Amino acid sequence: MKEFPEEPSVEPSLAPAPIPSGLGKVSTGPIGDRSGPNKLYTYGLAGAAAVIVYYALSAKVDDPLHLYLGLLIIVGSFYPALQWARRKDDRFPVFEVLMLTCLNTYAVPLLGGHRDLGAYPDETITEAALGVLLYQAVAIGVYSLTRARPKTTPAWTQEVISRDIINYLALGMIITTAYTIISLLTDWIPSDLNGPLRAVCYGVGIISTFIQARLWGQGTFPRTRKAAFVFQLALQVIFSWAALFLIGGISILVLALLGYVSGGKKLPTLALAIALPILGVLHNGKSQMREKYWEGGAPSPTLTTLPAFYQEWIGYGLQGENADDATKPRHASKLLERTSLFHMMCLVVDCTPSRQPFLEGLTYSYVPGQFVPSFFWKGKPPAHVATNRLSVYYGLQHEEDTVKTTIAFGMLTEAYANFGFFGIALLGAAFGFWLKRLGDWATHSPILSYPGLLLVVLMAWSFQSELTFAAWISSLYQACMAVLGVPFLMRNFLGQ
């Protein structure tokens, strides 16, 4: 999957840019107008209400209980984010973004009538939905009850980059985009280095994208840098989408959106008005493009053929409603399969423990090995070893098939496969506890401190919902090594 943040090679000025004064703390500091009307909360509440009403009237469910369970999952998804918006603080919404992912991965597939749900009895769907609600309830409850005293030691309150930050952020975006282009258009990167290099470049790009978007939201981003930032962001998204995985570019855009919103507590309405229709058209034509370029064996786009590639894609998207009706169900199912994890939850609930015993922590045993560098372990299992194990265990793939294709399960489904409802509750409690503790500890941490940078990375990883825990923690670790290691080297060896 191509999922990396952005960048071009054009920089408007080589002169050092001073640090803007508005980066602020992780959880405190003036942003937006705290005394005025809370437009973000109002818009968010209206959006949540619209989603609830829409699915209440149009849900494709046979059992009324599933309707109520699905609507409750929607409420659990929106509630933390709405509380964050209502408080008008600038705490990084790490936990809130994590909960929001339940909307598209579990609630929408349930209420939208995912094709694969027809293979399971109502009792299985009910149990799977109750598992999601248990996860949300435990996570939100533990998060609300957890308290920690803010850290005030130098390690928590000192900035690790203090000069010319804008120039370094632009460089980080260039590095990430260069990797994205090279990995898409060439085979220069050895397969055993691709995973770590991807995590490093993505980690650097996360910081670059988020901080610049946050500065823009705060109104402290230099005007001369805005055009370059937008161009770089667009270039990164374009090359990411050229792999026909929309999730990569969407992740970049969501990260920039979160930075802008967390900085100013306002929505970039013009940007959304431009991006959403484009995304809708590409989403509508994605299945036809995949059928041609994946199943039909058409050559992947090159740098010179990329404009024609997108022209063709937009053409499919605009005529999507007039496509052959016989192909529509198959195309629609493919689109849902790329975003839904609820049908995987139903699969595991249906099989476990009635036909397949609980794994009792087997997939979690792969986690320690992910921290060992491949240089020291030649036969090191791949990052997706837990995902592959689940795919084989539940009969979705043969062992040899996992080399070419990875099937998304997600951490919630993995938790049930290992320990049932207890595993789901434990996962929710762990996320609620540790994300709240980290947020409280970093109350006085500047965004350019080690804790501040860590929370930015965590927020970006909070919407990597398709990963199992081993893949999630190993990629997070690699990204943190890059994001925290680069400032350490600059501070201690380059005097920055």
Banded model confidence at residue 495, pLDDT cuts 50, 70, 90: low
Q: How far apart are CA 111 and CA 68, in angstroms?
A: 10
DSSP string across 47-90: HHHHHHHHHHHH---SSHHHHHHHHHHHHHHHHHHHHHHHHT--
Q: Is 212 part of a structural domain of the chain? A: yes
| Token representation of residue 44 | 């968010």
Any domain includes 364: no
Contact of 55 with 119, CB cutoff 8 Å: no
Closest CA to 185 of 290, 288, 310, 304: 304
Helix (H, G, I), strand (E, B) or coil at 446: strand
What is the token pair recorded at 449? Answer: 């401190």
In this structure, the chain runs to a length of 496
Please indicate, yes or no, if residue 373 is contained in any of the structural domains. Answer: no
Rounded to whole angstroms, the Cα distance separating 97 from 48 reads 14
What pLDDT does 3 receive?
37
Residue pair 95/434 in contact (Cβ under 8 Å)? The answer is no
Residue 436 is predicted with a pLDDT of 95
pLDDT digits (tens, 9 = 90+) for 392-420: 999 888 887 777 777 889 999 999 999 99
The answer to whether residues 293 and 305 touch, using CB atoms and an 8 Å cutoff, is no
Residue 174 lies in a domain: yes
Give the tens place of pLDDT for each residue, 320-357.
644 444 444 444 334 444 568 999 999 999 999 999 99
Report which residue type is found at 455: L
Whether residue 353 is preceded by a cis peptide bond, meaning omega within 30 degrees of 0, is yes
pTM, two decimal places: 0.79
* Residue 479 near residue 203, CB atoms below 8 Å: yes
Q: What is the mean pLDDT of residues 242-256?
A: 84
Q: Are 221 and 215 in contact (CB under 8 A)?
A: yes
Number of H helices and E strands in the chain, helices first, is 19, 0
> Residue 217: exposed, middle, or buried by beta-carbon count in 10 A (0-12, 13-18, 19+)?
buried
Asked whether residue 116 is assigned to any structural domain, the reply reads yes
Q: Beta partners for 25?
A: 446
User: Per the domain annotation, does 8 fall within a domain?
Assistant: no
Q: Which residues of 408-430 are buried (b: 16+ CB within 10 A; e: fewer)?
A: bbbbbbbbbbbbbeebbbebbbb
- Rounded to a whole number of angstroms, the distance between the first and last alpha carbons of the chain is 35
Residue 157: domain span: 39-339+407-493
Beta-bridged to residue 446, according to DSSP, are 25
Each residue's pLDDT tens digit, 208-222:
898 889 889 888 888
- Total domains in the chain come to 1
Q: State pLDDT tens for residues 116-156.
A: 898 999 999 999 999 999 999 999 999 999 999 999 998 89
The answer to whether residue 143 sits within a structural domain is yes
The pLDDT of 258-276, averaged and rounded, is: 86
Residue 25 has φ and ψ, to the nearest 5°, of -90, 170
Evaluate whether 32 touches 266 at the Cβ level (below 8 Å).
yes
Q: Which of 143, 144, 145, 93 is nearest to 430 (CA)?
A: 143
CA 251 from chain centre, in angstroms, equals 5
Mean pLDDT of all residues belonging to the chain: 82
The whole-angstrom separation of Cα 476 and Cα 460 is 9
